[in-house]
A = this chain, B = another copy of it.
């Protein structure tokens, strides 16, 4: 079964889990208490997130803390980069257009 980061963030519940554990690792029970979902549902999402390596389990006694692998988020950032270039170049084009219009205005004044 091939999973990727994009599938991981496709589900709103999973995005909520990611946001929740971003700042500090949490246990499945603690996560489930934070929004109205059953522990088992959270557990299934955590399994998927673990498979995607977005999240890493850390056993501490009888509890398992799940920690966000922030580096995986960078993968999305890298993928987005190709489009960032496009919207930045569009912005530059708009900028060029605006300055051209400004120049025309100036020339007409003369």
Chain A interface (Cβ within 8 Å of chain B)?
Answer: 4, 6-7, 9-10, 12, 15, 19, 22-23, 70-71, 73-74, 76-77, 80, 82-84, 86-87, 90
Contacts and interface: CB of A to CB of B under 8 A. Distances in A.
Contacts of A9: 6, 10
* Number of copies of chain A assembled together: 2
B86 A74 contact: no
A41 to B, nearest CB: 19
Contact of A73 (B10, B70, B71, B87): B87
B83 A73 contact: yes
Contacts of A6: 6, 9-10, 12, 15
B15 A82 contact: no
